[in-house]
Structure 1
Amino acid sequence: MDPNPSYEVPPVSRAFSLLRYISAGNRCRNMSRAAAALGMNRTTLLRLLHTLEREGMIERDEDGGGYILSYGLLELTASMLSSRDVVRLARPLLARLAAETGLSAHLGVLSRTDVIVLVRETPDVQLVSNIREGSRLPAHATVMGRIILAHMPRAEVRDLLADGELAAITARTAATFEQLERQLDADKAEGLAWSVANYEEGIGSCAGVVLDHSNRPVAAISLSGRQSAFEPNSDRRQAIAEGVRGTAQRLSALLGAQP
């Protein structure tokens, strides 16, 4: 159910907008410019910065000036992650998958129209992707989002995406719901979603869905690495598919999913 806008508390919404703005690398060194970017006046911005600093959510950047996120947010995040069974159960499985394949393994969950990366396990090799724990990715344009959407009722997917535009991240991104629906049908038929530079140039990825005890999609796992490993004619493609599918099935079984 969508939040009722009549119950929105504007100061809280502005505070979260400011936190997301700072997390994107904006230090608020220029107050007037930051206030304009956030759509608020300078006095409101100063009060929010003061309050968030006092609550330990942000701190002053002594090296470059301005503000950065503080460890108070990390404490909240750690508490949330420790209470989520899917994260606790996924981490060792993804660590093993990354070690066996030499590729980066991720766990993501759907948050409205985005996927949030909760777990990232990497092999001891040079990395080429910028995706990190906490990254927020457009669901329609990424393999983890696509495989989750593929296992949801189509009416639910339409309702979810009705108010937003399908941004074309690359030329391979589905830019209309009809294109996305065809892609989701293919993803569900194979049981895996594949990307060959669909989201990041030079990066390939593959994702499988994680189901809960009622066989509803609750998360997705993925492998990502250099594009060449994920090409249709790659000799690694079958091993990637088996690793992703097997790990997703094991995590689903731990969450009570029925075969």
Structure 2
Amino acid sequence: MTHAPVTPVTLTLDRGLQILRAFHAARAPLNNGELAQRTGMSRSAVSRLTSTLIQLGYLRRVAGGSRFELASGVFGIGHAYLVSNPVTRLAHPLMQRLADRLDVSVALAAPNGLDMLYVAHRTSARIATLRLGVGSLLPMGLTAIGRAWLWGLPEPQRQHYVARLLEAAGPQREGLRSEIDSAFDDLRSNGVCMSFGQFQRDAYGIALPVRIGREAVLMSLSCGAIRFQRDIDAVRQRVVPALKQAALELETELRDVRHEP
């Protein structure tokens, strides 16, 4: 089978998307140097791309500085995705009920490179939460929602992803390896895994893998919040049964969805 050649236009589009993906979940403004570091591109290439993305309405300059942030054009694409995607439309009511019941944020995520992309998100109005939403990217190796997705993979694919995560971790690879192994032990024994303070201080996440739609697309479902209770075991006992039940209901509700998320 022959493959279409990579044209300059295709390559430029790919690099432009890499720039947009570099704005991770915290959505903090970034300058050209930071974008170059995150994407592996040269600073001059990044500078040309950020100028183009500003003209197209996908980035804007932060007032009084050399940093950029996502602009409304990006969120317009996200809104179109939400309107057209039956997964988010059907998942949101169930996720909102879970969020309100437990006073947590609830997220449904799919992989995006070595990150997890939130494709649906709901939160309780009564809690302090991370600044996250649909379109947020979280590091796969450092979060419960990422580790749960890894666990749902067939063994050869799981090993491939873990190897890539460890390579990217550099000097922190041994610590990451231990944390991922611990999460897998938790998933093997209890069906869920938990992270606390690894992505953001004082925040926890509890997650499990789910399979969505007729194609059984592997995703992961999580509950999380800024933790004020001192007893993590009490948090698990309160959240885990409700999260497992919600996962079963979600898979049932979406079992006939044809459109891949």
What interval of TM-score do these two structures reach, taking the shorter chain for normalisation?
Answer: 0.7 to 0.9
Partner residue in 1 for 2:42: 40
Amino acid at match of 2:211: L
Give the TM-score of the pair, scaled to structure 1. 0.76
Partner residue in 2 for 1:206: 206
Partner residue in 1 for 2:259: none
Distance 1:157 1:256, change over 3 A: same
Partner residue in 2 for 1:92: 93
Q: CA deviation at 1:243?
A: 1.5
Partner residue in 2 for 1:57: 58
Partner residue in 2 for 1:186: 186
Higher relative contact order (CA 8 A, sep 6+): 2
Distance 1:199 1:14, change over 3 A: closer
Partner residue in 2 for 1:250: 249
Moved more, 239-248 or 224-233: 224-233
% identical aligned pairs? 22
Gaps of 5+ in 1: none
Partner residue in 1 for 2:196: 196
Query: How many angstroms apart in 1 are the aligned matches of 2:168 and 2:86?
Result: 32
Structural mapping, 1:1-259, within 5 Å: 7=6, 9-21=10-22, 24-27=28-31, 33=33, 37=37, 39-40=41-42, 42=44, 44-45=45-46, 47-61=48-62, 63-66=63-66, 67-165=68-166, 175-176=176-177, 180-181=180-181, 183-213=183-213, 216=216, 218-227=218-227, 229=229, 231-234=231-234, 236-256=235-255
Q: CA deviation at 1:101?
A: 1.1
Distance 1:216 1:229, change over 3 A: farther
Q: Post-superposition, which runs of at least 4 consecutive aligned residues in structure 1 deviate over 6 A?
A: none
Distance 1:181 1:7, change over 3 A: farther
CA contact (8 A) 2:19 2:35 kept: no
Moved more, 44-53 or 100-109: 44-53
CA contact (8 A) 2:150 2:161 kept: no
Distance 1:110 1:49, change over 3 A: closer
Query: How many angstroms apart in 2 are the aligned matches of 1:144 and 1:35?
Result: 25
Amino acid at match of 2:159: R
Distance 1:24 1:183, change over 3 A: same
CA contact (8 A) 1:146 1:187 kept: no
Query: How many angstroms apart in 2 are the aligned matches of 1:94 and 1:160?
Result: 28
Query: How many angstroms apart in 2 are the aligned matches of 1:36 and 1:118?
Result: 26
Q: CA deviation at 1:7?
A: 3.5
Q: CA deviation at 1:226?
A: 3.8
Report the aligned-residue RMSD: 3.5
Amino acid at match of 2:142: A
Query: How many angstroms apart in 1 are the aligned matches of 2:103 and 2:74?
Result: 31
CA contact (8 A) 1:148 1:217 kept: no
Distance 1:231 1:119, change over 3 A: farther
Amino acid at match of 1:86: V
Query: How many angstroms apart in 2 are the aligned matches of 1:17 and 1:213?
Result: 28
Bigger helix fraction: 2
Amino acid at match of 1:186: D
Distance 1:40 1:112, change over 3 A: closer
Determine which structure has more spread, i.e. the larger CA radius of gyration. 1
Amino acid at match of 1:237: R
Query: How many angstroms apart in 1 are the aligned matches of 2:43 and 2:201?
Result: 38
CA contact (8 A) 1:151 1:188 kept: no
SS at match of 2:195: strand
Give the TM-score of the pair, scaled to structure 2. 0.75
Q: CA deviation at 1:95?
A: 1.1
Amino acid at match of 1:187: L
CA contact (8 A) 1:112 1:160 kept: no
Q: CA deviation at 1:57?
A: 1.8
Q: CA deviation at 1:45?
A: 4.8
SS at match of 1:207: strand
The number of aligned residues is: 244
